[in-house]
Amino acid sequence: MAEEDAPLVLYVEDEPAVLELGVSALEEGGFRVASASTGAGAIRQLETPDAAFAALVTDIDLGDNSSGWEVARRARELFPDLPVVYVSGGSAHEWASRGVPGSVMLTKPFALAQLVVAVSNATLERPGPGG
């Protein structure tokens, strides 16, 4: 349903069932989605020369000994303005110390509307407090 050039979201999640639901909700909302199931795979996509993501959605506890905290940090090193939405069950309490500025935390289990709204908000261009 998403147009060819629609905004592209990178979705990182190691539970296939959760990933599938999330991806299909975002696609129904008109986003294109690239997915990764490991932190290493996500970082590889972020480091691809022509990468052009509109937002990053990342689970915290990824299978491969890596975490969404690391993925987001690397993403922001490469793209300082990239909107970040974290998704987690057990690690939400760590967000205040490990999240990046301006990010959003979605606690699992979440409603799909929350995901779509979080990504939509994050990708709208609005002036920050300083102009």
Residues that bind a copy of itself (CB under 8 A): 2-7, 26, 28-31, 55, 73-77, 80-84, 92-107, 109-114, 116-131
Residue 62 or 86 having the CB closest to a copy of itself:
86
Residue 48 or 123 having the CB closest to a copy of itself:
123
Residue 50 or 81 having the CB closest to a copy of itself:
81
Q: How far apart are the first and last CA of the chain?
A: 35
> Which residues share a beta bridge with 10?
34, 56
Task: Give the span between the Cα atoms of 2 and 66, in whole angstroms.
Answer: 30
Per DSSP, the three-state class of 10 is strand
Q: How far is the CB of 11 from a copy of itself (least distance, A)?
A: 14
Q: Do 34 and 53 contact (CB within 8 A), yes or no?
A: yes
Task: Give the span between the Cα atoms of 80 and 113, in whole angstroms.
Answer: 26
Q: Smallest Cα–Cα separation from 15: which of 118, 88, 115, 71?
A: 88
Residue 32 or 37 having the CB closest to a copy of itself:
32
Q: How far is the CB of 45 from a copy of itself (least distance, A)?
A: 17
Q: How far is the CB of 106 from a copy of itself (least distance, A)?
A: 7
Q: How far is the CB of 86 from a copy of itself (least distance, A)?
A: 9
Q: In this structure, what token pair is assigned to residue 6?
A: 């629609």
